[in-house]
Amino acid sequence: MRMLVRFSKENDLRFISHLDMVHAMERALRRADIPMAYSKGFSPHAKISFSAPTPLGIPSSAEYMDVHLVKPLSAQIFVQRLNNALPNDMRVLEAMEIDDDVPGVLGKATIGCYTIQPYEGVQWISQSHINVLMNMNDIIMEKRTKKGLKEINIRPCIKELILMQDGQHITAKLLLPSVGGINPDILLKAFNIYTDVRIDVEDMAIHKDDILLEDGRVLLPE
């Protein structure tokens, strides 16, 4: 059987890379004595897949993994044991038992949900700024790719952009970089270029809340 797991990576752990997080999780699984399945061969590896990387510096409650187990284990016990073995800033949020023949769902996530707010007292985005961006047909921005800087139109990547009632938080739904989308820093830079607000990405607290399937459904149904 397999376990589909959603977990968080908060606070200081936003500074560890995706690969480091993977290692930290593998070690926690071993400490928790989770009966993981291993690949055969010379140097066996645990059979786990993880969702696409969250950029360094962004805390997240939207990390997912799909773990193959050699012995059945209830989701409840899995969560309890793993949480006891994880660092404080990594927490299992939910887990679901799935059968071996159910296709994996991690690669099918296409949308990232973020909350963005300023740390303190800086000029901030208003509804009119949002309207400016959302009413544009093309938002041309430079995006760093492996081949260097590339100009792309990020407008289709922005699925939703809402200023919350407190006037402080913004929630954004963006196409994920793994499917040609963008990270939230590019969105914030677009405000600087196309509206009259001036914000410093370093002054923003960005949190990745979840990732969704193309049709907007969550990966782990209630």
Partner 1 sequence: MRNRNIDKILLSVEKPARYIGNEYNAVHKNLASVEVRFAFAFPDVYDIGMSHLGIRILYDILNKRDDTFCERVFAPWVDMEQQMRRHEIPLFALESGDNIADFDMLGFTLQYEMSYTNVLNMLDLAGIPIWSKERTNRHPFVLAGGPCAYNPEPLADIIDFFLIGDGEEAINEIVDCYKTWKYSGDTDRQNFLKHVASIEGVYVPSLYEVSYNDDGTINAITPKIDSLPHIIRKRVVTNLSSAAYPERPIVPYIDIVHDRAVLEIFRGCTRGCRFCQAGMVYRPIRERSADRLVELADKLVRATGYSEMSLSSLSTGDYSQLEQLVKILLEKFQEEKVALSLPSLRLDSIDKSLLERIQSVKKTGLTFAPEAATQRLRDVINKGITDDDILRTVEYAFQQGWQSVKLYFMIGLPTETDDDLYGIAEMARRILDVYYSIPKDQRGRHIDITVSTSSFVPKPFTPFQWDPQDKIDRLSYKQHLLQQQLRMKHVTYHWSDNRLSFMEAVFARGDRRLGRVLAAALANGCRFDAWTDYFNYDGWLKAFEQCSINPEFYAGRVRSYDEVLPWDHINAGVSKDFLIRERERALKGKTTFDCRRACIKCGIERWEGVCDNANAGTL
Pattern 115-154, partner 1, x by CB under 8 A: ----x-----------------------------------
Q: Is 38 in the site for partner 1 (CB under 8 A)?
A: yes
* Distance in angstroms (rounded) separating the CA atoms of residues 21 and 164: 31
- Cα 193 to Cα 186: distance, rounded to the nearest angstrom: 10
Q: Does 202 bind partner 1 (CB under 8 A)?
A: yes
Minimum Å gap between C-beta 30 and partner 1 is: 4
Name the one range near partner 1 by CB under 8 A: 39-47, 74-82, 131-139, 141-149.
39-47
Contact status: 12 vs partner 1 (CB under 8 A): yes
CA-CA distance, 127 to 109, in Å (whole number)? 29
With residues binned 3-state (H G I as helix, E B as strand, rest as coil), the percentages for the chain, rounded to 5, are 25, 35, 35
Identify which range of 16-24, 103-111, 145-153, 189-197 contacts partner 1 by CB under 8 A.
16-24
If one asks whether residue 37 binds partner 1 (CB under 8 A), the answer comes out as: no
Closest CA to 70 of 110, 40, 94, 91: 40
Residue 70 interacting with partner 1 (CB under 8 A) = no
What's the distance, Cα to Cα, between the start and end of the chain in Å? 19
Other beta carbons within 10 Å of 171? 16
Q: What are the C-alpha distances in Å from 211 to residues 81, 123, 214, 218?
A: 25, 29, 10, 7
Give the interface size with partner 1 as a residue count (CB under 8 A): 28
Q: Identify the residue among 3, 5, 6, 57 touching partner 1 (CB under 8 A).
A: 57
* Interface ranges with partner 1 (CB under 8 A): 12-13, 15-17, 19-21, 23-24, 26-31, 38, 42-44, 56-57, 85, 87-89, 119, 202
